[in-house]
Amino acid sequence: MKRKDLLGLKDISADEIMLILNLAKEMRARLDEGQHKSSELVGKSVATLFYENSTRTRISFENAAKALGASTSNISAESSSIKKGESLIDTGRTLQKLLTDIIVLRHPCSGAAHLLANNLDIPVINGGDGTNEHPTQALLDMLTIYKSLGEFKGLKVVIVGDILHSRVARSNIWGLSKLGADITLVAPCTLLPAAAGKIMDCKISHNLSEAAIGANVIISLRVQLERQKYGLFPSIGEYHKYYGVTNQILYKADSNVLCMHPGPINRGLELSGQAADGESSMILEQVTNGVAVRMAVIKLLSGGLR
């Protein structure tokens, strides 16, 4: 891959996405065969720099780097000199001088990954910036679809939930639409960006029961209560009744529907326990695909490393 950084799927081509997905598929096959260690990136160092909590993204980047033979370091805002007032750029430049080869950044501000990438010579991978993008989450979602259904063109994909605050939704919309999927966003008006459907190539619905009919993929999003400044729906019960993914919703979809969620799940809110644990659920498969996708991204961005 020619680029220095992976900051989002808005600015990368369909060919680059397929390059990552095909390599990730190979990585996943290696993991399934029990090959959890290689020496491809011995001597390289990957740092996760996280200003927000994470389980899946941070640990899968760490395990992906280790599986390629790289060393890892984890810097969290809570336990580093960030607490003493050090700026993002100063922290990044310090990590670069500490012989870090790649930085994975998670930050609550949209655009933080671009700012860091523009100020460093080493690759920066966006591990989620505010409500902007979470490209490796969308890539692992796409790998899950690709491995199960074999293609994207014409697939009916429903993305339901807190679209307004979701960087996962944005990255999936950019990525899936480039590969020809037919996307419908489903949410109450209060959880949809005002211009959704005009800026992005997708349909809009406020009725999950209707939108789910014949769907090949249903991606349910976490309701991001921590990013909501005031109540955007009347109650958890009402939200679940109209926008929760349940077995009743899955029965309306295609018989091979993939039920997906980026995690962490709020059971009983955006997803029923039966749907989360049922036959259609791909949620744990997504988690393992996250390691494979991050191996592929680290490897591709490592092309020009010292």
Site residues, ligand CP (CB under 6 A)? 54-57, 128, 137, 262-264
Q: How far is the CB of 127 from ligand CP (least distance, A)?
A: 7
Q: Which is closer to ligand CP, CB of 28 or CB of 156?
A: 28
Tell me the closest approach of the beta carbon of residue 104 to ligand CP, in angstroms. 11
Rounded to a whole number of angstroms, the minimum distance from the CB of residue 213 to ligand CP is 27
Report the side by side order of strands in the sheet with 217-220.
203-205, 182-186, 156-160, 217-220, 258-260
Q: Least separation, in Å, of the C-beta of 116 and ligand CP? A: 18
Nearer to ligand CP, 57 or 91 (CB): 57
The residue (of 57 and 177) whose beta carbon lies closer to ligand CP is 57
**How far apart, in Å, are the Cα atoms of 140 and each of 143, 168, 222, 253, 255?**
5, 11, 16, 22, 22
Please answer whether residues 20 and 294 qualify as being in contact, where contact means their C-beta atoms are separated by less than 8 angstroms. no
CB of 21 to ligand CP, least distance (A): 18
- How far is it, in rounded angstroms, from Cα 134 to Cα 132? 7
Q: Are 70 and 295 in contact (CB under 8 A)?
A: no
How many Å from the N-terminal Cα to the C-terminal Cα in the chain? 16
The residue among 293 and 301 lying less far from ligand CP, judged by its C-beta, is: 293
The nearer residue to ligand CP, 193 or 262, going by C-beta atoms, is 262
156-160 vs 258-260, strand pairing mode? unpaired
